[in-house]
Structure 1
Amino acid sequence: MIVPFLWLVSSSLKKPSEIFRQPPDLVPWLDEVLLEGTFVECERKAGFDAELEVRLDEGERHGELLKVHSGQFQGGRVTAPERGLVTATAATLLREVQPERIEVEILDEENPRHGNRMVVAATDLRRRVGLQWRNYATALGSFQFLRYTLNTLLLVLLNVLGVLLSSALAAYGFAKLRFPGREVLFLVLLSTMMLPGIVLLIPHFQMFKWLDLLDTYWPLTLPAFFGVPFYIFLLRQFFRTIPNDLSDAARIDGCSEFGIFWRVVLPLSKPALATIAIFTFMGVWNDLMGPLIYLFDMEKFTLALGLSTFKGEYSTKWHLLMASSAVMVVPVIVLFFTCQRFFIRGITMTGMKG
């Protein structure tokens, strides 16, 4: 889990040419070339082996001088099929005719040679750690980050409120109230958890289209106010751990059923409610499918949908996509570690008898 996150952050701080470099490197590197006594930023385009002069030490061509590339001379033996040396032949290195060269493109915008390509000696190049912090500024300025964030927060708030209220009310009814057919209804509720969400996409779309609610936030918020089966089940199990003596005492004091739910049961269920709030927040914050289906106006896009603007038909701005994704992940991480104790307590205590 930590490795993909580190790779995300690392890629967000790299230049586009460094992201898919082979072999991959977790550290963002920056290439610089020495020009007129100053190192300037550049990008490697192609490499040329050094040219060596060697003397053959065996075979019929013993003593012959040859000029070969550095890649053809390894371990004191030379192989040059284009010069008739198919098998490795012992040879002695006499001198380096031309050093290894690298073709580079100047990227420093303040340099007069910006955008030019040139071939330089490999010794004039250096690599250092180069964190491209400007990727974040460019990414956040490339699309309506603030608007998309506010849109997403609005959906998160409405969904969290809707899920907590509707699921808690339904769970209280299944856990604390006695009425005919309660167990049958609960089994029906559990059975709906077996339906894959993908099966309901087309019926939901047709329904919201008939209601003329497309390109609005209603399709993304209304379902939350009708309860989520898994969360109802989770809260029902948690409510059953709360002693009935507390409810009976409240009834004796004249408290209504809703008052018991609101003033007695809910305050004791903070761990379970926090768990559901975290789950809902992460689900809505990262949701791409829902906004992609129901939203058409770019002014209403969410963050997850807005990130798709970095992916084009022919090219993808991976460095900007990674930077935006890293920013988008931060609230989820902060929320999880802030509410971790509620999350763990809500999961471990669900279903335990008090």
Structure 2
Amino acid sequence: MMLSARTRNRITGTLTVIALGGAAVVFLFPFYWLMVSAFKTREQMFTLPPQFIPRPVVLENFTNVFAATPLARAFLNSCIIAGGHVLLALFLCSLGGYAFAKFRNAPGRNALFAFVLGTMMIPGAVTMIPVFVVLARLGLVNTYWAMIIPGAANAFGIFWMRQYIINNVPDELLAAGRIDGCGEFGLYRMIVLPICKPALAALAILLLIGSWNNLMWAFVVLRTQSKYTMPLLIYLLQGEIRTPYGMVMAGGLLATLPLVIAFLVFQRAFIQGMTAGALKG
């Protein structure tokens, strides 16, 4: 028996919703388990069958992690580092993307852009030692700048902004600005940046996640506890013999919440930037 097109569409829609719902459960379950484990005792974490709802709810893990570590200072460090890195990267990537998108007759433009894209093929581990040597000679090791500067002008961000500007910033608008006497940086500040807000928001979320969770580089360049970020401080809670899993879960939850809140606040702009043709052309 042949099904009507309407029935097939309903079946397809239902199956799609079920599949997406299942995928959402799979991806959200680790965060849910982190959240509920933060309110459990050590014994509750390892009981079988597992407790999906903690009974009773305990806050001891949070008080212990604040008492044992300078978590508030680490949170401030993470905010300064992530905020500084995002702002610097947005400025450099949008400026580079604008140059590659609109200065088509610049000598060596294509070769330079190919070189920039080629850097995406170089593993981060290869550049780690040279970058550290440069920072050490500049006296920037164990400072915020050692976490903020590296990777700010990254190839992905420049490519992202270039593609968005090509597809969404008309040349006629820039020509009109030049006729009115506006300089190139003025065009970038007053015309390009306002149009590129969705792409900037999407890129900012991606940069924030990468910078906030940057554990390996923090291990390399941060030496004193007063400069530790939250991921580094939480990782160092793990011991060789015994790990305070309750404190690790509580710290992990506190470290994850800022990213969740940032995405919820900027999700509309993020989705708009992801779907506005930033990777077309």
Provide the TM-score with structure 1 as the length reference: 0.68
Asked if structure 2 preserves the Cα contact closer than 8 Å seen for 1:240 and 1:351, the reply is no
- Structure-2 residue corresponding to 1:156: 82
- Structure-1 residue corresponding to 2:257: 330
- Structure-1 residue corresponding to 2:91: 165
- Structure-2 residue corresponding to 1:339: 266
Tell me the distance in 2 between the aligned counterparts of 1:335 and 1:209.
33
- Structure-2 residue corresponding to 1:51: none
Tell me the distance in 2 between the aligned counterparts of 1:248 and 1:351.
24
Tell me the distance in 1 between the aligned counterparts of 2:280 and 2:215.
36
The alignment partner of 1:223 has SS state of coil
- Structure-2 residue corresponding to 1:136: 62
Tell me the distance in 1 between the aligned counterparts of 2:258 and 2:83.
14
Tell me the distance in 1 between the aligned counterparts of 2:275 and 2:143.
38
Counterpart residue identity of residue 342, structure 1: A
Q: Does 1:184 align with 2:184?
A: no
Tell me the distance in 1 between the aligned counterparts of 2:135 and 2:47.
46
Shift of 1:252: 0.9
The alignment partner of 2:241 has SS state of coil
Tell me the distance in 2 between the aligned counterparts of 1:216 and 1:139.
24
The alignment partner of 2:252 has SS state of helix
**Deviates most, 344-353 or 181-190:** 344-353
Tell me the distance in 1 between the aligned counterparts of 2:244 and 2:96.
46
The alignment partner of 1:336 has SS state of helix
- Structure-2 residue corresponding to 1:311: 238
Provide the TM-score with structure 2 as the length reference: 0.85
Aligned length in residues? 252
- Structure-2 residue corresponding to 1:262: 189
Q: Does 1:26 align with 2:52?
A: yes
Tell me the distance in 2 between the aligned counterparts of 1:218 and 1:155.
8
Tell me the distance in 1 between the aligned counterparts of 2:246 and 2:213.
20
Once the two structures are aligned, what percentage of the paired residues are identical?
Answer: 36
Asked if structure 1 preserves the Cα contact closer than 8 Å seen for 2:174 and 2:187, the reply is yes
Counterpart residue identity of residue 138, structure 1: N
For structure 1, the residue ranges without an aligned partner over 5 or more in a row are 29-128
The C-alpha deviation readout for 1:161-189, integer Å capped at 9, x for no partner, is 11011111111110011301111111111
- 1:81-96 map, 5 Å: none
- Structure-1 residue corresponding to 2:14: none
- Structure-2 residue corresponding to 1:6: 32
Task: Decide which structure has greater helix share.
Answer: 2
- Structure-1 residue corresponding to 2:173: 246
Query: 4+ runs of 1 displaced by more than 3 Å?
Result: none
The alignment partner of 2:63 has SS state of helix
Counterpart residue identity of residue 278, structure 1: I
Tell me the distance in 1 between the aligned counterparts of 2:39 and 2:213.
22
Shift of 1:224: 4.4
Tell me the distance in 1 between the aligned counterparts of 2:150 and 2:234.
25
Shift of 1:352: 4.8
Tell me the distance in 1 between the aligned counterparts of 2:144 and 2:279.
35
For structure 2, the residue ranges without an aligned partner over 5 or more in a row are 1-26
The C-alpha deviation readout for 1:218-258, integer Å capped at 9, x for no partner, is 22122245x11000000000000111110011111111111
- Structure-2 residue corresponding to 1:229: 155
Tell me the distance in 1 between the aligned counterparts of 2:41 and 2:60.
10
- Structure-2 residue corresponding to 1:199: 126
Counterpart residue identity of residue 160, structure 2: L
Tell me the distance in 1 between the aligned counterparts of 2:253 and 2:279.
36
The C-alpha deviation readout for 1:78-102, integer Å capped at 9, x for no partner, is xxxxxxxxxxxxxxxxxxxxxxxxx
The alignment partner of 1:327 has SS state of helix
Asked if structure 2 preserves the Cα contact closer than 8 Å seen for 1:162 and 1:224, the reply is no
Tell me the distance in 2 between the aligned counterparts of 1:201 and 1:351.
29
The C-alpha deviation readout for 1:109-139, integer Å capped at 9, x for no partner, is xxxxxxxxxxxxxxxxxxxx21112322222
- 1:32-47 map, 5 Å: none
Tell me the distance in 1 between the aligned counterparts of 2:60 and 2:81.
30
